[in-house]
Structure 1
Amino acid sequence: MATQLIRGLAVEIDGDGDALLCIHGLGGSSNTWTPLLAALSDFKVIRPDLPGSARSPLLQEPLSIEGYALQLEALLSALGIKTVHVAAHSLGTIVAQHLAVRNPAKVKSLALFGPLVAPPDAARPNILARAAAARGGVAAMQEIADAIVKGATSRETKAGQPAVLALVRESVMRQPPEGYAQSCEALAAAQSAEIEQIGVPALLVTGDQDGVAPPANVAVMAARIAGSRQVVFDGCGHWTTFEKPQRCMQELERFHASLR
C-alpha cells in the first residue's frame, strides 16, 4: 500500500480484480475506507483524496461537484480503467451520482453511505458559514471538528466508542483549512443529478441518527433509483464506515455478491 500522486490526486491503490473507486466525503480522506478493506479483497480498490482534501492539493479553479467528477474521470482514464464499481460517503455520494449519470457505460454499481442528492436549501447558508469559519485556520478547524463529533455521531458512538470520536476529530482537523473551505462551498452549491437515469444496482446505507442523510430522505432517494436497496443501521450517525465498520462490510459483501 503506497500513496501515489496521479493527475494531481493523492491515491492509494490496493489489490487486483474489478476496479472499485472509493470517494470520501467532506472532512474525509482515503482512510474513510480503511476499516472496510477486508471486505474488498476481490477488487482493485482505488482510494483518492479529493482535490483540496487531506494529501491532495487544491486545483487552480474553485472546487465544485462537476470538478470532482472530472478529476475522477481523469484518474480512471490515467489508470486505464474502462468500467468501475463505486463506493462513496456523504459529499462523495453526490459526486458518485453525477459520475454514474455522466458515465452510464462505465459505472457498474453504486454503494452509497450517508447518501444525499444535494443539501437542503435551508442547510446551504450554514455550510457556507462553515466555509468562512474554516478560513480562520487551525484553531477554527478544531472548533469545526469538535462540532462535527458532537453533532454527526450517534449517542451509542459517543457513549461506547471513544476511538471513533477521536478518528472523526482527527480526520476533520487534518484537512487544509482552505481546501476544507472550498469543499464546503462545493457542497453548498451542489445540485442533484438526474438520478432516475441511474440504471445500475445501488445500495443506500444510512444510520438511524444520521442528520445529514435521515432514513426518510434516503427512502425518497431510493424510490428515485430503480432497483436500489436501502439499509438503516441502528445506533449510527453520519460517519457510517467509522461507527459501524462490521455492518458496512457485511452489507458490501452481500451487495457485491449479488452482482456476480
Structure 2
Amino acid sequence: MSPRTELVTTHALYGSTTKVFSYPACADNSAGVIFAIHGFRGDHHGLTRIIEQLPQYTIIVPDLPGFGASTSMQVDHDVDGYAIALNDLADELQLPAGAILLGHSFGSLVAAKLATQRDFAALLLLNPISELALDSSQAFIAKLTGFYYTLCAKLPSRLGEAVLRSTLSSDAMSLVMTKSKDPQMRGYVRDQHRAYFGGFHSRDTLAQSYQASISGTVGEYSRAIGIPALLVGGMLDELGTAQTQETLRASFNQAELVMLPEVGHLIHYEKAPETAAAITEFLARQDV
C-alpha cells in the first residue's frame, strides 16, 4: 500500500503554533471526513497505519498543542483545554457538518468532550479510557509514572529532558505495552516509540497532560453524546478491561463495542487492519 498524500497547515491556537496533517481521500468520491485525535505522548504519526487502511476517507490529524510539531498553549493542557482549542481549530478548518470524530486513548477523552460541544456524524473511540488508572490493576504503575513525570519536571532542565527523551524510557514502554509476539511488529512499535515518544514541547506540558490522562474516563461525557459511537478495545488492555469497556458502551445512547483479541492498548499499531475494518463496517451501517 503506497503512502498517502500529506498536506500540512499551521494554525495559531491559544499561543500554540499547531501543525495539522491532512490526508485527502484516495478516491474521486470521498466517503467522508474523519477528524482524528492522537493519544498521550504521541503525534499524528501514531495513526499512520489506521490512515493507510482508510483510503476512502479524508483524514485530518492535528499534532495536539505541546506534542509533535506543535508548541504548547497558554492554557491548561488538559481535556477541557484541548477540547476548546480543537473546537476552534475545527471552525478554522471549516469541517463539514457530517464529519466523523476519532480519538485514541487520551484522545478518546478529548474526543468525547468535543462531541458534547460540537456536532459530528459519528464518534470512533480506539482504546477508550474506560476506567480510572488509579482505581485499576495498574494503580501502582500509574502512581509511579505520575511521580516520574513530576520529578522530571523539577530536575535541572538538561537532566530532566534527557531522562524523559531517553531510548531506555521509550523501550521500556514498548516492552510493557506491546502484546504481539511477531518480532517485526514488536520492532515496528519500538521504532515508532523511539522516533516520536520524545516529541513533547515542554516537561510541564507533559506532566500536566499525563495527570489529565489518568484523572477521568469517557464515561464522564458518554451520556451527553447522542450520535452513534463505536468503541474498539483490546482484550489484553490493562488500561481498559473488557468488563469496563462494556460498562462504558452501555452508558452511551447508541454505541457498539468491538473487542479485538491478542492485543492491548496499541490497537492502532498492532491491529490496524482489524480496527479499520471495524470502523468501515460501523460507518457503513450508519450511512455516514
**Structure-1-length-normalised TM-score:** 0.89
Matches within 5 A, 1:49-198: 49-83=63-97, 84-103=99-118, 106-117=119-130, 119-122=132-135, 123=139, 125-135=143-153, 136-142=160-166, 143-156=168-181, 161-178=186-203, 179-190=205-216, 192-198=219-225
The 10-residue stretch of structure 1 (87-96 or 220-229) with the greater mean CA deviation from structure 2? 220-229
Distance 2:185 2:216 in 1: 34
Conservation of the 8 A alpha-carbon contact between 2:69 and 2:199:
no
* Partner SS state of residue 209, structure 1: coil
Q: CA deviation at 1:125?
A: 3.4
Q: Which runs of 5+ in 2 are unaligned?
A: 1-5, 154-159
SS of residue matched to 2:181: helix
Q: Choose 118-127 or 62-71, whichever is displaced more.
A: 118-127
Deviation, 1:159, is 8.3
1:12-71 CA-to-partner distances (Å, cap 9, x unmatched) read: 012154321110011111112211223333332110011111111001223111010011
Quote the sequence identity (%).
Answer: 23
Worse-superposed segment, 224-233 or 10-19: 10-19
Q: How does 1:31-50 map to 2 (within 5 A)?
A: 31-50=45-64
Give distance in 1, aligned partners of 2:243 and 2:182.
21
**Alignment match of 2:267 (pick from 236, 240, 246):** 240
- The residue type paired with residue 7 of structure 2 is A
Is contact 2:37-2:103 (8 Å) kept? yes
After superposition, give the CA deviation of every residue in 1:193-245 in whole Å (9 maximum; x if it has no partner). 33112111111111121111222211110111132111111111211111111
Q: What SS does the corresponding residue of 1:212 show, helix, strand or coil?
A: coil
Give per-residue Cα distances to partners, 1:119-160, cap 9 Å, x unaligned.
Answer: 343446345324224432123332432332122221535686
Find the aligned partners of 2:222 and 2:185 in 1 and give their Cα distance: 37
1:102 CA displacement: 2.0
TM-aligned CA distance change 1:130 to 1:19, over 3 Å: farther
Matched, 1:4 2:29: no
List alignment gaps of at least 5 residues for structure 1: none
8 A contact 2:149–2:207 mirrored in 1: yes
| Counterpart amino acid of residue 93 in structure 1 | S
Classify 1:229/1:9 alpha carbon distance in 2 versus 1 (closer, same or farther; 3 Å).
same
Alpha-carbon distance in 1 for matches of 2:74, 2:49: 32
TM-score by length of 2: 0.81
Residues 95 and 127 of structure 1, relative CA distance in 2, 3 Å threshold: farther
Q: Deviations over 1:151-198 (max 9, x none)?
A: 222153568632223223433133345242232133244465331121
CA distance in structure 1 between the partners assigned to 2:85 and 2:209 by the alignment: 14
Partner SS for 2:253: coil
| Aligned residues of 2:249 and 2:257 also touching (Cα < 8 A) | yes
Q: Could you tell me which amino acid in structure 2 is paired with residue 95 of structure 1?
A: V
Q: Report if aligned partners of 2:36, 2:102 keep a CA contact under 8 Å in 1.
A: yes
* Structure 2 CA distance for partners of 1:133 and 1:234, relative to 1, 3 Å: farther
How far does the alpha carbon of each residue in 1:76-114 deviate from its partner, in whole angstroms, 9 at most, with x for none?
Answer: 1001124221111100001111111222xx121111111
Identify the residue that residue 157 of structure 2 maps to in structure 1.
none
- Matched pairs, number: 258
Name the CA shift for 1:13/1:128 in 2 (closer, same or farther; >3 Å).
Answer: same
CA distance in 2, matches of 1:48, 1:245: 19
